[in-house]
Structure 1
Amino acid sequence: MASSTYTSFDYLDKEVLEMAVLFKWRSLAFLLFGVLYEGVCAKSHAELVKRAFDKGRQAVTERYDVIKPNFHEYDVAGLEHGCRWKMGLMMKPSPFAQYMERHAVFYLAATRYIVQRSSMNPREILSDPAFREEWKTQSAEQGIMEEGGCAGDIAAVKQFCKSHLNERFRTADGLCNNINNPTWGRAGTPHARFLPPLYGDDLNMGDTPRIDSVAGGLLPSARDVSVKVFRHFEFNNHPTHTHMLMAMGQFIDHDLTFTPHEKGQNGADIDCCLKMPNGLLIDRPECFPINVTAGDPHFRKDCLNFARSSPAIQTGCGVSLMSSPDNLPPPGPRDTCALTADHTERCLKAGDERANEILNLGMMHIVFLREHNRIAYKLAKKCRRFRRNNNRLFEETRRIIIGIMQKITFYEFLPEVLGSKTMRKHQLKEQQYRGYDPEVDPSILNEFSTGAFRFGHSLIPNHFAFMNEDLSTDYTKHVSETFFKPIEVQHKDLMKKLLRYLTTTKSHVVDREFSESVQDRLFEDEAGDSFDLVANNIQRGRDHGLASYMEVRRACRLQTVSTFPNLPNMTPENRALLQDVYADVDDIDLFAGGILEKHVRGGVVGPTFACIIGEQFRRLRQGDSFYFERHKTSSREFDTRGSVKRRIGKEKDRLRGGSVKRRIGLEEDRLRGGSVLRRISFEKDRLRE
């Protein structure tokens, strides 16, 4: 039975059946049209590419003029601010992302047609000069390239970047970071790959997610894996880290990664649990629903809604900060959070819409906004020409904030995550920086964003506590009650109380224990409908065609095995849990296997996740032409002293001790070479032009 949150589709009348049948007939009509159109085999590259482009147009028409409109009335049905709405809001695509999605559908269909009509695979097609030239020619002739809105290999783009070769400030979206490859690392571009994708369709192009077991049959339900392996609720606390490790990690993650989900017509949130009268789920290309087995310990429905990520293609596309009088982010649209008209608070408007998702994210946005404005004020006061040029003042301040963020990330956060040995292995130590390397692509790896860097989900607590000055608890609030409700961070006293909790309370350990707030009650709504973050992580990896856990270990040059009892870097109990749910070790999902590993020495993740995270941040540092240490002045510019109050809302004496360990979970005796005073604040005599 579908959840009571939405209209039940278990017993639909003939209208729904007719709608589904109509959808199938229209799809068959497009297929029949294509067969009749083809007639004889193409005799030249030009003919083949032309017909491929026709196939691309048919695919776009079918997806956007048939499928989405047919299901629109069911997609828009449901509870306002419900679970499905919150899931859609978390990964809401921008208008540009939706625009590019259509082109991805077009190009994927065209490529699929060429592969099916030739003896070449997609990689061979891309490397064939004749095909590339014909593809480029017809794209230009038909205006397809221009409509795509991007072109990393177009001479004009490279010329633009070369004309800005000596720019002091990076562009807002990262364009021109690399002069020869202008879109490497640019926002809004597809993920890179550590390993080739492994999808379920014959052509391995992503039409079908990874669903098959190597032993035959299907992979286990992502929810079954979550329940059988990870649902225990027996938490272990870290001896030194505080909850700020989680808060800072999530802030960094959202700064680096964003993968929009598919939407219905007019941006509606897709209902992937829509059923036929016979009880079977209606098959939609945008959907990959999660099956819930009967007898589930929490859910009383048989389907968890799951919209696939928007398709993307590797085409090469791709003053002070605004604040309110109370030094908070300006108000955002009401549809960006779950607050109603009854609330006096507002949605927060930030560079990332997920600032409203959970309290610690909203808090971190406010902290860095205030630090930005504090520095801007000091710069304007010290440097007269900045007072006459607001844009220059903004860019100089932004440059400093980026440097602060990078120093915290690479030299305070990462050492605690990876440990000293892994930092050295991936050349991430401070003394190992050798400058910018234009041959390194800093683009975000799929295995990083969809797998390894989700380790922090194990650190999310069940409750937020609001603590008084003496560190006694004033009150607590279940995390599930705070999703997309940024209330407390908009009140000065409550934000201080939340900060005390995050900076003084011991963090959970990264392991197989996940809090109920995210495993059973993620985005819970008033009707009691909710989601499972662990199942989501596993399903998203399959959606993206991530290689199996064992394949990733092989790529990392770690030990691989063929039997569960021999799984390395795991306890016997964790091996048994995996064996109970997976048919073969080569079926194990990257997230499920990686999170269960014993930690590397001095870190909080196992060797597989450490490999991926280390490789990603090596690329981010070496491939960043604006990295804060690239120029000799950087060490003086960013090694500054100040006061704790400047980082966390100018709280003078509220945070007793004020040491680094209370903000990002680090022990004093493990921090050689400086306290937080050096890392984020600026002293007057250090402010340089």
Structure 2
Amino acid sequence: MRRDVIVTFHGVALNIKIQTLCFRAVKARAHFPQNPLWGAANIAMVRWLPAEYEDGESEPKGWNQGRLYNGFQLPPPNEVSVKIMKSSSKNLDDSYSQMLVEWGQYIDHDLTFMPQLNSHTAFWPAPNCVECENAHPCFPIQIHGTLSYAQDCMPFHRSTSVCFVNFMANIGQALQRQQMNSITSFIDASSVYGHTPRMEYTLRDIDGLSGKLAVNQLFREANGRAYLPFIKSLPSKCLQDPHADSGEWRVECFNAGDTRVNEGMPLITLHTLWLREHNRIADALKRINHHWSPEIIFQETRKIVGALHQIITLRDYVPKIIGEEAFEHYVGPYQGYNPTANPSASNVFATAAFRFGHGTVTPILRRLNEHYQEDLRFPPLRLHDTFFSPWRLVKEGGIDPTLRGIIGTAATSVSPNMLMTDETGRLVVLNIDQHMDLASLNLQRGRDHALPGYNDWRAFCGLTRIKTVDDLTEVVGNHNVAEQILRVYKHPDNIDVWLGGLVEKLLPGSRTGPLFACLIGHQMKLVRDGDRFWWEAEGVFTQQQKAELAKSSLSRIICDNTDIGEVNSDSFRYGAYPSDYVSCNSIPGINLEVWRGTAAILCEGNQWSNQPPQCTGM
């Protein structure tokens, strides 16, 4: 269902595979898109407002010491983090479960990935960026309250830029540095299948002739359910059980469609869930259509899994984070494919707005038993103890205790005086020997990308600009926090967009304020409407298949691929056990029988894999 145009476009190579369900679908796909690179991998992120580089071309905000903004220097990111962001605890929001937070990270990894200049190239030696000196590609973050020499900075590598000249821009913007999104901007389950044909091939069970994804050959859960396969390059750098015997098998980093899969246990859990869902659907389609080849089974299953990602995200997730009213205003009902909608990820969405979820990161990961109580075998973990630790899932009960903890724990809430837990200042980053601070990294990344300030983005969204402390108090809802922000930034136009969006009062029934609701809603509408292969688009699925897909839910997927027997009917909602939980037997699922006989047709080599469609009655 996807195309490859020099750079990757929806994951499948152009002129190698052309897939469809019927002649009408072939006809619908016959036209070449007007803008074939929109949404593709390895292209520049879109600018909704012009970049603000200090030299007009590439130097990030804060690069030149002494540079004044509205008469003041920008505060160092770590100072902002220490004085405004940090809290030793977080309040709980009993409306939503922690799954709302974890899905946000998971689907973000399906939409954006900004590579960094942190490896050796033909032009640059491998940098370590540990010294407090701005020298490309290093833009180190000074630790608040220290002097400027090596041990007083956190290393920071600038984002990779694209080799691109925008001839449509004016001369001042034509050669500006533009950051790259290295994956497709579509919701296309690239986190499951990768964003290139080569990645997809390495993840498939080619030898099994089953249309399935490869699974781990060394470990399985006690119930026999599969884990993700290990990465090819061994030994990996993932952490190991400190109490393991010397003769035990290592639990290496897992392999998936997105290389960030091992960052945390909830993320590994969701990746594992989708691996199993693909293989479950592939098994069912093989039983229904014995004549289908492994290639047809794989591609049809991938198409269904991609649709499930789209449905769960746009129907069940986005309205909760921006609020139903904002969803209707910025996204609205689906009206069909719009060839003028550019689905490419915007810089402000990837670098600021969709990082709203960092304010909801929980400091504790709970693992629960079948009664949704603390599992005495597996005590709660501090956040920093979950990073790059796949061994914990393999040796400590599989994914079920973690999944129950995610859906059975109330999500942490955002308030202006409790923005981020102290645990986010203890990030573990492979190849770096010190803990990193998430808030500082986010602020520095926004400056690296030369994002305009908070007030400019409010104006972009039609919101009033902040001019006084009273204006900010009205937006934030807390006078002390508003005063502290202006005390640190000195001028309202200097406020970083990520911080400003994060401190806004939440809209009713949402997890974001007006600015981020605007930016996220605008991006999601473009991602949906600019996708020719959106699940609701003409010719992608039959009406009967659409009706079945609409029955799907994350709760059903959890039921089908784990030993969890009771769930909340909406896994993003928090409920008390057992009163708010239902048996998996009562959760509707997809009837895959409607895929019987609707065999996909693939052009493989020089021939069709099945009888090609014929024109009749014309």
Aligned to 1:537, the other structure's residue is in SS state helix
2:113 to 235, 238, 258: 258
After TM superposition, give the deviation of residue 205 of structure 1 in Å.
1.4
Q: From the superposition, tell whether residues 320 and 162 of structure 1 become closer, same or farther in structure 2 (CA, over 3 Å).
A: closer
Question: Deviation of residue 151 (structure 1)?
Answer: 12
- Partner of residue 59, structure 2: 207
Contact 1:569 1:598 in 2 (8 A): yes
- What is the letter of the counterpart of residue 591 of structure 1? W
**Among 210, 213, 219, which residue is 1:321 paired with?**
213
1:345 matched to which residue of 2? 251
Aligned match for 2:265, one of 350, 356, 359: 359
Indicate if the aligned counterparts of 1:362 and 1:486 stay in contact, CA closer than 8 A: yes
1:527 to partner: Cα distance: 10
Aligned residues of 1:642 and 1:682 also touching (Cα < 8 A): no
Q: Give the counterpart of 2:365 among 436, 442, 464.
A: 464
Q: Do the aligned partners of 1:233 and 1:513 also contact (CA within 8 Å) in 2?
A: no
Question: Which of 393, 399, 403 is the aligned partner of 1:499?
Answer: 403
Kindly indicate whether the alpha-carbon contact (under 8 Å) linking 2:87 and 2:422 is maintained by their aligned counterparts in 1: no
Q: CA deviation at 1:503?
A: 0.8
Shift of 1:576: 1.4
The change in CA–CA distance for 1:426 and 1:579 in structure 2 (over 3 A counts) is same
Partner of 2:436 in structure 1?
Answer: 531
Query: Does residue 284 of structure 1 match 2:126?
Result: no
Letter matched to residue 218 of structure 1:
Q
Q: Does the 8 Å CA contact 1:209/1:542 hold for their aligned counterparts? A: yes
Q: 1:682 to 1:352 in 2, by over 3 A?
A: same
> Which residue type is aligned with residue 377 of structure 1?
D
Cα distance in 1 for partners of 2:499, 2:92 equals 21
CA distance 1:249–1:168, change in 2 (3 Å): farther
Residue 575 of structure 1: aligned partner? 482
Distance 2:435 2:357 in 1: 20
Match of 1:394 in 2: 298
Shift of 1:206: 1.4
Conservation of the 8 A alpha-carbon contact between 2:353 and 2:501: yes
Partner of residue 433, structure 1: 334
Distance 2:312 2:482 in 1: 36
Distance 1:167 1:402 in 2: 15
Give the Cα separation in 1 of the matches to 2:313 and 2:461. Answer: 23
Offset of 1:250 from its aligned partner? 0.6
1:241–1:665 CA contact under 8 A, matched in 2: yes
Give, in angstroms, the shift of residue 252 of structure 1. 0.3
SS in 1 for 2:366: strand
- In structure 1, give the amino acid aligned to 2:370: E
Q: 1:219 aligns with which of 74, 78, 102?
A: 74
Cα distance in 2 for partners of 1:370, 1:649 equals: 9
After superposition, give the CA deviation of every residue in 1:442-492 in whole Å (9 maximum; x if it has no partner): 000110010010111122211212222233322122221221121233358
Single out whichever of 312-321 and 344-353 deviates more from structure 2. 312-321
Q: C-alpha displacement at 1:328, in angstroms?
A: 1.6
Within the alignment, does 1:660 sit opposite 2:552 as a pair?
no
For residue 382 of structure 1, the aligned residue among 272, 288, 299 is 288
Partner residue of 2:501? 594
Bigger Rg, which one: 1
In the alignment, what sits opposite 2:175? none
Please give the alpha-carbon distance, in whole angstroms, between the structure 2 residues aligned to 1:573 and 1:253: 33
**Alpha carbons of 1:523 and 1:226: their partners in 2 closer, same or farther (altered >3 Å)?**
same
SS of corresponding position for 1:241: strand
- Could you tell me which residue of structure 1 aligns to residue 382 of structure 2? 478
2:45, 2:346 within 8 Å by CA — same for their partners in 1?
yes
Alpha carbons 2:408, 2:574 under 8 Å: kept: no
- CA distance in 2 between counterparts of 1:166 and 1:466 reads 42
Alignment map for 1:514-663 (pairs within 5 Å): 514-518=420-424, 520-523=425-428, 529-567=434-472, 568-571=474-477, 572-631=479-538, 633=543, 634-640=545-551, 644=555, 646-647=557-558, 650-652=561-563, 654-656=564-566, 658-661=567-570, 663=571
Deviation (angstroms), 1:176: 11
SS in 2 for 1:493: coil
Secondary structure of 2:505 counterpart: coil
- Cα distance, 1:218 vs. partner? 2.3
Q: Shift of residue 292 of structure 1? A: 1.4
Write the mapping of 1:181-192 to structure 2, written as runs, cut at 5 A: 181-192=35-46
| Cα distance in 1 between the residues matched to 2:436 and 2:164 | 32
1:347 partner SS: coil
Q: What is the rounded CA distance, in whole Å, between the counterparts of 1:177 and 1:583 in structure 2? A: 54
Give the match for residue 241 of structure 1: 96
Q: Residue 373 of structure 1: CA displacement?
A: 0.4
Partners of 2:312 and 2:262 in 1: CA distance: 23
Letter matched to residue 569 of structure 2? V
Output the CA distance in 1 between the equivalents of 2:505 and 2:511. Answer: 9
Bigger shift: residues 477-486 or 490-499: 490-499
The structure carrying a bigger helix percent of its residues is 1
Equivalent in 156, 159, 162 of residue 312 of structure 1: 162
In structure 2, the partner of 1:302 is 152
SS of match in other structure, 1:238: strand
Amino acid at match of 2:428: F
Summarize deviations over 1:378-417 as a string: whole Å, max 9, x none. 000001222xx11111010000001111000000001111
Separation in 1, partners of 2:150, 2:30: 51
Gaps of at least 5 residues in structure 2 are 23-28, 167-179, 183-210, 221-225, 241-245, 577-581, 599-618
Kept in 1, the 8 Å contact 2:556–2:587? The answer is: no
Higher RCO (C-alpha under 8 Å, 6+ residues apart): 2
Cα deviations across residues 315-344 of structure 1 (Å, max 9, x unaligned)?
A: 699921122353222111346542359763
- What amino acid is the match of 2:573? G
The 2-side partners of 1:236 and 1:563 are apart by 29
Query: In structure 2, do the counterparts of structure 1 residues 677 and 434 end up closer, same or farther at CA, with 3 Å as the change threshold?
Result: farther
CA distance in 1, matches of 2:588, 2:151: 48
C-alpha separation between the residues in 2 aligned to 1:583 and 1:545? 19
| Separation (CA, whole Å) in 1 of partners of 2:91 and 2:554 | 33
The aligned residue for residue 206 of structure 2 is none
Equivalent-residue separation in structure 1 for 2:528 and 2:396 (angstroms): 36
- Work out whether residues 82 and 144 of structure 2, in 8 Å CA contact, stay in contact via their aligned partners in 1: no
Give a deviation string over 1:242-276, Cα, whole Å, max 9, x none: 111111111000110100000242698632223xx
% identity of equivalent residues:
28
The whole-number CA distance in structure 2 between the counterparts of 1:282 and 1:528 is 19
What corresponds to 1:513 in structure 2?
419
Task: Work out the CA distance in 2 between the residues paired with 1:397 and 1:625.
Answer: 18
Q: 1:207 to 1:167 in 2, by over 3 A?
A: farther
**Contact preservation (8 Å) 1:292, 1:304:** yes
Distance 1:636 1:478 in 2: 42
Amino acid at match of 1:392: I
Deviation at 1:643, TM superposition (A): 10
Q: What displacement does 1:516 show?
A: 1.9
CA contact (8 A) 1:177 1:624 kept: no
What CA distance in whole angstroms lies between the structure 1 residues aligned with 2:153 and 2:513? 32
Matches within 5 A, 1:85-124: none
One-letter amino acid of the counterpart of residue 558, structure 2: R
1:195 alignment partner in structure 2? 49
* Structure-1 separation of matches of 2:483 and 2:313: 36
